Amino acid sequence: MSTEVTNVSSSLRGDAVWNSPPVKVRENPERLAWVVLIACFGVFMVLLITVPLTMRYFVQHATSPQSATLDPTQGTVLLYQPGATEPIAITELRKDVVEGSTIVAGDGPTQATLRLISENAADEALGSVQIYTGSRLQIPRMRSPMFELSSEPYQVQLKLEQGQARVFTNSGRQRPLSVEIVTPHGSIMLDTGSFQIAVTENQTDITVSSGSATLVKADQPKLAVTEGLRAWMTADTIANAPAPAAQNLLRNGNFSESMRDSWESYVIAQNVTPGKVNIMERDGRRVAYFVRQGEDNVPTEVGIRQAINRDVNVYDKLYLQLDTKLLFQSLPGAGYLSSEYPLRVEITYTDIYGKSGLTWGHGFYFRDPENENWQIVGGEKISPFNWYTYRSPNLMELLKDTRPARIDSIRIYASGWNYQSMVSEAYLVAE
């Protein structure tokens, strides 16, 4: 009996002790107040530091999605919108190409231009991508900083799954443009410049026409590729070092340098308003812009020319490549002599027999001749207002009866009545 009472008493005493507040707290309310005050101050300091840092990080890194403009130039171009299983056939300019879209160029002769981010909703794009036959291009990311206070660049990530593309990048007035090209074999970081990229099942190749690029592949050293060089990467490796690109006989064909040391301009206009040529930036690239606005029904010509004076006997292949955009022509076709194009290129050369002063040329127009007797010779009709890439046949084979031994000069010009045209990325490549 006494034992049970004792145990119960002990239990009651234990509960009482357990439920009682600590003696020290009751005896030191000031201490409790100080603990609470210090804790609150600590929370305040944490908030004082973290909130501005969080806001600063948000202002610095927050982005908003942008849309691109797809401009079909030739052939069939298909657009897969985000989440869509069926494509849309693109036959005219489209300005609402968004992140997650996929562009597919058909198997026939096909070209299209994708204009990237524009600054301040302007029409002028900071970069562009020329897409060619058999190419498949995705747009995983296309962003601009949400706040002007941000120092981050415009961000574009493109995935070239297959085919060929030419990429032109330019920095805006407010911030640079950062472009990453992802392929099945790795990724390529592009600085400001122009680049040719080709993706096959086994390999990715890049040629840098201007600027620089960096090939990136996991667990391997990065490889920098600068102007006039090319490199490659496969699923397993990156090239040990860049190699020289094919020999380009033209100087400053992208008009990125001073014209004084490479091109000479000229004008033909007898007692009438002359045409003029200006160098400017359009669609993320440098262009030569030919324009004449004056009296109609009078012939004029304005152009640029370059002395080359290079032997080509050792080469088996010779190609001319350039990009052109036609904006206006008042003279239909190429005139009655097929000699007045809104844009034409002409090469002067000496053949293997020593005969000099020989020429080969190619012209571009978009207005059909109004007279059926005005035949087009040495030219082709292209769509207006779009960039078109022309690549000649192998001139060594085309001109085999007068095979070039020496390229003397080249000229690019506009002629006719009134005209507006552009040229960019001109190359005369010997292999």
Note the pLDDT tens digit of each residue in 92-137.
899 889 999 999 998 878 889 999 877 765 567 788 999 988 899 9
| Count of domains for the chain | 3
pLDDT of residue 14: 47
Query: In this structure, what CATH number is given to the domain that contains residue 96?
Result: 2.60.120.1440
So what's the pLDDT on residue 363? 96
User: What is the pLDDT at residue 6?
Assistant: 46
Q: 20 with 118, same domain?
A: no
Q: What is the pLDDT of residues 388-430, one digit of tens each?
A: 999 999 999 999 999 999 999 999 999 999 999 999 999 999 9
Whole-number percent of the chain with pLDDT over 90:
56
pLDDT at 17 exceeding the cut of 60: no
C-alpha to C-alpha distance for 275 and 343, rounded to whole angstroms: 13
Any domain includes 253:
no
pLDDT of residue 43: 74
pLDDT of residue 26: 56
In a domain, 254, yes or no: no
How confident is the model at residue 327, as a pLDDT? 97
For the segment 221-225, the average pLDDT, to the nearest whole number, is 95
Joined together, the tokens standing for residue 332 give 């239909």
With a cut of 70, say whether residue 20 has pLDDT above it: no
Tell me if 68 is assigned to some domain: yes
Query: Is 388 domain-assigned?
Result: yes
252-311 tens-digit pLDDT: 999 999 999 999 999 999 899 999 999 999 888 999 999 999 998 999 999 999 999 998
91: in domain: yes
> Looking at the structure, do residues 316 and 336 belong to the same domain, yes or no?
yes
Mean pLDDT in residue range 53-70: 69
Domain final residue, candidates 35, 54, 73 = 54
Please tell me the least confidently modeled range out of 42-46, 58-62, 229-233, 335-339: 58-62
166 and 300: one domain? no
Looking at the fold, whether 290 and 157 belong to one and the same domain comes out as no
Mean pLDDT (the chain) is 86
Nearest Cα neighbor of 169 from 154, 183, 187, 182 is: 154
Q: Please indicate, yes or no, whether residues 67 and 50 belong to a single structural domain of this protein.
A: no
| pLDDT over 90 (residue 29) | no
Whether residues 233 and 263 share a domain: the answer is no
pLDDT band of 55, cuts 50, 70, 90: low
Q: Which domain holds residue 277?
A: 259-430
pLDDT at 372: 80
Task: With respect to residue 250, please indicate whether it lies within any of the assigned structural domains.
Answer: no
Q: Hey, what's the torsion of the CAs at 363, 269, 250, 380, to 10 degrees?
A: 0
Q: Are residues 286 and 193 in the same domain?
A: no
Is 282 found in the same domain as 214? no
In a domain, 376, yes or no: yes
- Structural domain contains residue 160: yes
CATH of the domain at 384: 2.60.120.260
Q: How far apart are CA 17 and CA 20, in angstroms?
A: 5
Based on the domain organization, do 74 and 144 belong to the same domain? yes
Q: Domain ends where: 245, 279, 302?
A: 245
With CA atoms as reference, report the closest residue to 209 among 360, 424, 431.
424
Task: Quickly state the pLDDT bin for 51 (edges 50, 70, 90).
Answer: low
Residue type, 342: P
Residue at a domain's end among 54, 72, 97? 54
Q: What's the average model confidence in pLDDT over 371-385?
A: 89
Together in a domain, 212 and 305: no
Same domain, 92 and 36: no
Let me know whether 38 and 68 are in one domain: no
Whole-structure pTM value = 0.70
Residue 68 pLDDT more than 60? yes
**What's residue 62's pLDDT?**
66
| Phi/psi at 107 (5° precision) | -80, -25
- Angstrom CA distances, 332 to 270, 338, 342, 416, stand at 21, 10, 10, 9
